[in-house]
């Protein structure tokens, strides 16, 4: 599994509807990521919102998983406008370090369109990579902001959304739908209370490799589920738990701490 693919999965394992009153938010959510029941990463996500602009900063330490996931570090950040009913990114950055190598992505957005992007080192356009087209760079956002939701209530409206995402490498679409309600009770997690379950459909558009087993598996999977919890009284909703079925075991992300 490549470092970028791990970041994409984590992001899928980490995506706003009704407007909320403008208020400052300064919050941190901590997660543990496991693959096949084995801890592979710990991450913190900081959210700041002054009522008109927001920023998201993710930092992760990856323990590794044999030859499947390399140990290292990953960071991602997004910033943009929060004055409307949804988060609208203007900048997105991703950086991973593993095995002495660094991979970086920088994307600038104007509204919901990609203004520019840069990837280092560049992704090779092999014969099996689906070409990115200009039309694929419109009506999109970043994958970090896409999974943090502004809303009015913890109900099925949390799940009723479709999102186009551009990572700097791939364009794909996410369609979420309501899957039920539950109550988080474990004292080992960072939240106890009602949660909403959303099922997620992943649709690759371009930039991916047609021979990628992970891409094809996710596209065919019906086991991508996100449990959403309220971030206190901030008007934001964040993933409490994420479950992605993979051919290497379940990729799971669980909220372990929440400060706001």
How far, in Å, CA of 190 to CA of 172, rounded?
30
pLDDT tens digit sequence for 135-178: 999 999 999 999 999 977 899 999 999 999 999 999 999 999 99
Average pLDDT in the 86-99 region?
94
Please, are residues 12 and 202 in contact by the beta-carbon 8 Å criterion?
yes
What are the extents of the domains in the chain? 3-259
Crossing angle (nearest 10°) for helices 213-220 and 3-13: 20
Length of the chain: 260
pLDDT tens digit sequence for 3-25: 445 445 544 444 333 333 446 89
Q: What is the pLDDT of residue 14?
A: 45
How far, in Å, CA of 76 to CA of 258, rounded?
19
Stated pTM of the model: 0.88
Please, are residues 147 and 239 in contact by the beta-carbon 8 Å criterion?
yes
pLDDT tens digit sequence for 177-233: 999 999 999 999 999 999 999 999 999 999 999 999 889 989 999 899 999 999 999
């Amino acid at each position: 599994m490549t470092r970028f693919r791990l970041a994409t999965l984590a992001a899928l394992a980490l995506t706003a509807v009704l407007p909320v009153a403008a208020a400052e938010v300064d919050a941190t959510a901590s997660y543990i990521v496991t693959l096949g029941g084995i801890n592979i990463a710990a991450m913190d996500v900081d959210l700041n919102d002054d009522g008109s602009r927001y920023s998201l900063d993710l930092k992760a330490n990856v323990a590794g998983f044999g030859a499947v996931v390399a140990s290292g570090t990953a960071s991602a950040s997004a910033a943009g406008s929060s004055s409307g009913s949804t988060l609208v990114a203007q900048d997105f950055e991703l950086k991973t370090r593993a095995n002495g190598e660094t991979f970086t992505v920088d994307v600038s957005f104007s509204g919901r369109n990609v203004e520019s992007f840069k990837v280092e080192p560049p992704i090779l356009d092999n014969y099996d990579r689906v070409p990115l087209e200009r039309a694929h760079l419109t009506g999109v956002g970043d994958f970090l902001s896409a999974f943090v939701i502004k809303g009015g209530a913890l109900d099925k409206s949390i799940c009723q959304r479709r999102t186009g995402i551009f990572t700097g490498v791939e364009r794909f679409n996410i369609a979420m739908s309501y899957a039920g309600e539950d109550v988080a009770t474990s004292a080992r997690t960072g939240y106890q209370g009602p949660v909403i379950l959303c099922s997620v459909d992943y649709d690759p558009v371009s930039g991916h490799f047609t021979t990628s087993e992970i891409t094809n598996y996710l596209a065919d999977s019906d086991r991508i589920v996100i449990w959403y919890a309220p971030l206190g009284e901030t008007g934001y909703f964040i993933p409490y738990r994420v479950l992605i079925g993979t051919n290497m075991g379940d990729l799971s992300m669980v909220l372990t701490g929440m400060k706001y």
